Structures are given as C-alpha cells and as structure tokens.
Structure 1
Amino acid sequence: MTLSADSEKLTRGHKKKARTRQQLLDAALKIYAHKGAGELALNELAQEAGVSNGTVYNYFRTKEDVLEAVSLAQAEALSHEVALISTGVADGAERVAIGIRAFVLRAASNPEWASALINIVRYAEGMRSALGDYVRSDIRAGLKQGQFDYTDEEMAVSLLVSGVISVMIAIVEGRYQAGNDRVIAAMLLQALGMKREQALLVAEKALPVVEKRDD
C-alpha cells in the first residue's frame, strides 16, 4: 500500500509539473504575440502565468531557455497536427499542399497565435530548422514522383517556410482573404517546378478530415 501510495503521489507530482510548465509556455506564447520574442522577461512571464518568480526559475533559467522550449513545443504540435491530416496520403505534392494550407488556415482562425509564431521564427533558428525538416521528406517525395523540378533542396525548403510565414504576416496585418490558403499552395507548388494547371488541381483538393476519437 505504501509503495502504491508513493507511486500515485509521484504521478500526481509529475502531472502538476507538466501542467505548470504548459501554463508557462502558454503565457510565453501570449507575450510573444503582443511584444515579440526578444522582449520577454522572466518576471513578466511569472506575472502572465500567475505564478511566483521562483516557480519560473524551477523550469527556465533564461529567456533563451523559454524561447527554445516554446519553439520545440510549437514545432512538435504543428508537425503532429499536419501529420494527422496527411495520414494515408502518399502523393508528395498533395502532402506539401496540405501542410501549407493547414498552417495558413490555423493562422487565419487564430491571428494571435500567428503573431506569436512569426515572432518565434524570427528569433529561433531551431524553429525554422524543425519546420524545414518536416517538409523536406515531402518535397523529396514530390521530386522522386516527377512532380517537382528544383535544383537546390535547401532553397526549396526555405522557399516553402518563407512563403507560409509571409502569408501569416498578411493575416496578422489584416490583408488575408478567404481562399488565400489555396492560392499560396498553388503558387508554391509551381515554384517547386509543378505545372500551373496541375498545381491548381492539387491546391483545390478538399483537405482530408481527421476522425475524432471518443477516448
């Protein structure tokens, strides 16, 4: 009984730490959205999260630590989200289009999140690398399948990431219009070497629906 009680107490402790850490990451994201990633101060983070300064230092020693943690969490969440939508899709160009549109549509539905992500990408090389690594396999698939025709993979990756970020900036500035997710997807597919007519067909495809689980 003692071992069981100790184990349960330890589990509760881990869950509480995880919740507090997520609370801090969420608070940091809000600060990034309104002030920029370079402006975060740990005491301000504590205030935004509703915790003591000491609590913040239990998780992060510097604002760079916070940025790295938020960047990693966002990159993982975004990659997981797009991977779910793309499950079962083998076509490289279609996977690229799904990723582009999923990012843009999420940003359009939550401009504050988009603003935070833009500020994170400006300061966090790790975030840019993580996003680039995610699309790399898809553009390679498109090249192998004869859909794309580019000469430099790194430039192709940078083109996609920069293109999506540019649309997110337009969203934050109020210049986004419904349907622009398909427009930018088609344009970026063409930039990778796809013929215009084919790119438009791929970009106009309905996004796959992820079935919700009840568990």
Structure 2
Amino acid sequence: MENQDHRPRVAAERRERMRARLLGSALQLVAAKGPAATSIDDIIEAAEVSRGTFYKYFPSPDALVRELAFEVAKDLVYLADPLVRERSDPAERVACGIRLVARLALHHPAAAGFLVQLGWPDTQGENALLDFVRRDLAEGMKQGRFREMPMPLALNMVSGGVIGAIHCMLKDSCEPDFAEMTAAAVLRALGVPGKTADALAHRRLELLPDFPEGLLAATLPVAEQERAKATRSRPRRPLTSE
C-alpha cells in the first residue's frame, strides 16, 4: 500500500484550529464589549497571535463578526430546531422558537449578550436562525394560521420580539415570564386570536440543551466566567409554565 501524504490534512486541521481560536476569542470579547468596541488588537491579544495571522483568516473585524453571527446561529439552530419540529402547529413552532432563543438570556447569558450586541438581524440576508423561522411563517400563512403579509414584515416581528426580549431578560428586573409574553404578543401580531396565542405561548417547553459541540461549546464557559466577574449571579427561572 502506498504511503499517503498526510500533510494537506494536517495543514487543514491546523487552519481550522486557528480559525476556531480567533472566533472563540472574538466571541468572548464581543459578548462583553460589543462589536463596535472590539478591535483587531483586542482579538489578536486575546488569541495570542500576530496581526498577520489574523489577516490570513479574516479581511477585517467586521468579516469576523459576520462569521461569528453565522456560527452562533448555526449552533442555536442545531439545538433548538429539533425541539421546535416536535410541534405540528406552525404557530406553536414560532412560539417555541421565540421562547427558546429568548431564554438564552437566563441560561446562556454570554451567547444572549452576543446576539444582542449584533443588533437587528437582516431579514433579507443570510441568517441561519431566520431560515427556520421563515419556514414556519410560510407554513402558517399557507394554512391560514397567520394572516398574509410580506415575509420581511413577519420576520421583523419575530426577530424584533426576540431581540427585545433578550434585552429585557438580561436584567434582573425583567418579568419572569417575559419570553412567554413576547411569544404571545408576536402571535397576535401575526393574526392568531388572543386566547389561543396566550395558550400556545405558555405550553410546557423543555430546557434548551447545553451546547454539545461547536463554537459556543468551546467558548461559553470562559465567556460566562468573565461575565460573572462583572455581574452578580441570579437564580435560574423555570422554563416551563402551565
């Protein structure tokens, strides 16, 4: 058997490790400071690499933040979508998704802080989180569960509600059922009757599992430790409500 040249594979693995290192360092910085306040110097210092190494992987800090947004969204979809898909009703799936992502503020505040710092999602661009919301909104309109409206408008209702909920839920003074209140309000805006919207938004819901792999799994423990140094701890609120 001929000897195989493993150098290309080893080089590819090395590149992927360095890319993950840069992304992980940036995630911790952006979650703590925001993308506007995160510089190349901050990232290369945290990752302990040179400026030249940074530019081998990303042309600018903005490009790195965009890549971070995609990776975080991919990790969230990997976890949340199986729980969402268990529901056959598209309205319940939308409510479930809103609650799961908003509840990041309680159970994974570093990831939630990163999503908030990124700001309003671009409903016209590439966004893995919005892709599965778009699927459920389209199905709901097709079934007559939601009123007909332009898809960007419906996506703005959902994404704006989620970002606003996370903003509030990162604060200790926020109502404990704010995720459910947000889900019900969004369903009403989409055309679901009030009592039905309230019932769907308060159905039992499993905890979002811990991130088993990917960027968030590797970086959140450190990011959470840094966040804990700056903010006092608070008790977990229950995810389920009757």
- TM interval, shorter chain, is 0.7 to 0.9
Gaps of 5+ in 1: none
Work out which of the residue numbers 2, 11, 22 in structure 1 matches 2:20.
Answer: 22
Q: 2:150 aligns with which of 139, 152, 158?
A: 152
Distance (whole Å) between structure 2 residues aligned to residue 100 and residue 128 of structure 1: 20
Task: Give the corresponding residue for 1:72.
Answer: 70
Q: What is the total number of aligned residue pairs between the two structures?
A: 210
Alignment of 1:28-107 (within 5 A): 28-107=26-105
Instruction: Give the superposition deviation at 1:111.
Output: 2.1
Q: Does 1:132 align with 2:134?
A: no
Change (3 A) 1:111 1:127: farther
Structure with the higher fraction of residues in helix conformation: 1
Q: Normalization by structure 2: what TM-score?
A: 0.76
Which letter maps to 1:24? L
Using the alignment, how far apart are the partners of 1:190 and 1:139 within structure 2? 13
CA positional deviation for 1:65: 1.5
**3-state SS of paired residue (1:37):** coil
Q: Aligned to 1:38, what secondary structure does the other structure show?
A: coil
Structure 1 residues 49 and 176, CA, compared in 2 at 3 Å: closer, same or farther?
A: farther
Q: Is the 8 A contact 1:71 1:127 kept in 2?
A: no
Tell me the residue number matched to 1:143: 141
**Equivalence for 1:205:** 203
Q: In the TM superposition, what is the alpha-carbon distance from 1:16 to its structure 2 partner?
A: 2.6
**Counterpart position of 2:193:** 195
Higher normalized contact order (CA 8 Å, seq sep 6+, divided by chain length): 2
| Percent identity between the two aligned chains | 27
Measured in 2, the distance between the counterparts of 1:35 and 1:96 equals 30
Q: Which residue of 1 aligns with 2:181?
A: 183
Gaps spanning 5+ residues in structure 2: where?
213-242
Could you tell me the TM-score, scaled by structure 1's length? 0.84
- Partners of 1:72 and 1:126 within 8 A in 2: no
User: Would you say the 8 A contact 1:85–1:209 is kept in 2?
Assistant: no
In the alignment, what sits opposite 1:10?
Answer: 8
What is the CA distance between 1:199 and its match in structure 2? Answer: 1.2
> Take 1:99 and 1:161, find their aligned partners in 2: how far apart are those partners?
10
Q: Displacement, 1:153?
A: 2.6
Q: Which amino acid aligns with 2:160?
A: S
